[in-house]
Amino acid sequence: MASVRKSGGENLLVRYIILVSWALVCVVPILWFLTIGFRPRTEIIVPEPIYWPTWSLDAWRLLVSDWPIALYLRNSILAVAGSVVIDLVLAIPAAFALARYEFKGREDIGFYILSTRMMAPAIVAVPIFFLFKNIGLLDSVWALMLIYAAINLSLVTWIIRSYMLDIPKELEDAARTDGASDLTILREIMIPACLPGIITAAVIAAIFAINEFLFTLLIASTSKAYTMSVALANFTGGSDGVIYNAIALVSFIAFAPILILVILIQKHLSRGLTMGAVKG
């Protein structure tokens, strides 16, 4: 509060005007889109926008009757959860090695893992499509799971590595003199001590996986493997155009859990998003 008082009344007013305006820019489109979810179709795509619509539950009925929304939800949850599990199983040992061992090529291996994050999905889209086609995994949730895991593996590894670097070495040394093996140390000391990092990594990976669009679009060529993210883009009904009210509802079904997860890890968010580069 000290800084608030010192920056003076005039500044304070300007400051709050800017902050509140930007907050409105952030939140008003979301609230407006929420109202779209409860409007009848006829009041959405219109020559003149209707600001005070009649409310309706059309979109709910539509979702349940015309689209297998439960299937999309199941696909999303299965693919995302599976990919996060794969990531953690692969990343925790890798992060442990990168954070705690001296070995030849450590820097290069670490950077190689990081650099896979820089690859544009479109670059590998064509080959990945053929790869999954050849092994018969097109249109399958398993393929999505493998892809999401690959997309996020670099960031999960780097986040966990960053948290492991912060754990004081003395803890391990003490255990080691008591005769604990390396794997015991990983299991009994490192993992519990960097649990916030592991959770942060898992949450961020889950968000990116839920959002993934391009690969899902290519691999899920029929609605059998659609996730929420891609199912949205197919909510169009021929001459009726885009079915916005259904899109709005589905997007809020995904938004709610993400919001809750992010509130839980809010303190770790800036560190997680920079893969450990910022110790926020």
Partner 1 sequence: MFPYLLVGPAVLYLLAITLYPGLFAIYQSLFVVKFVNWSWAGLGNYMRIIQDREFWAALGNTAIIGGLSLGLQTTIAMTVAFFCYRDSFVRGWRIVFLMPMLFMPSAVAFIWKLAFNDGRVISDLLMSVGLVSNNVDWLSSIWLARLTLIVADVWQWTPFLFIIFVGALQGQDEEIEEAARLDGASWSSIFWNISLPMMRPIIVVAVTLRGIDITTMFTNVYIMTQGTPGGATETMSYFIYRQGFRMFNFGYASAASVLMLFITIVVAQTIVKRAFKSGKS
Q: Which residues in the 189-228 window bind partner 1 by CB under 8 A?
A: 207, 210-211, 213-214, 217-218, 228
Name 9's Cβ contacts closer than 8 Å, sequence gap at least 6: none
Span from 65-73, 171-179, 193-201, 256-264 in contact with partner 1 (CB under 8 A): 256-264
Mapping DSSP to helix (H, G, I), strand (E, B) and coil, where does residue 236 land?
strand
Token representation of residue 262: 């992010």
Q: Given the complex with partner 1, which of 44 and 141 has the nearer CB atom?
A: 44
Could you say whether residue 127 binds partner 1 (CB under 8 A)?
Answer: yes
Amino acid at site 216: T
Q: Name which of 172, 201, 173 is nearest 187 in CA terms.
A: 172
* C-alpha radius of gyration, the chain, whole number: 23
Could you say whether residue 122 binds partner 1 (CB under 8 A)?
Answer: yes
Could you say whether residue 26 binds partner 1 (CB under 8 A)?
Answer: yes
Among 5, 103, 168, 239, indicate the residue that binds partner 1 (CB under 8 A): 103
Could you say whether residue 262 binds partner 1 (CB under 8 A)?
Answer: yes
Q: 63: buried, middle or exposed (CB in 10 Å: 19+, 13-18, 0-12)?
A: buried
Could you say whether residue 54 binds partner 1 (CB under 8 A)?
Answer: no
Beta-ladder partners of 236:
242
Amino acid at site 31: L
* Smallest gap from residue 90 Cβ to partner 1 (A): 4
The alpha carbon of residue 228 and the mean position of all alpha carbons in its chain are separated, in whole angstroms, by 13
Residues 224-253 that bind partner 1 (CB under 8 A): 228-230, 232-233, 241-242, 244, 247-248, 250-251
Give the total of residues touching partner 1 (CB under 8 A).
103
Could you say whether residue 178 binds partner 1 (CB under 8 A)?
Answer: no
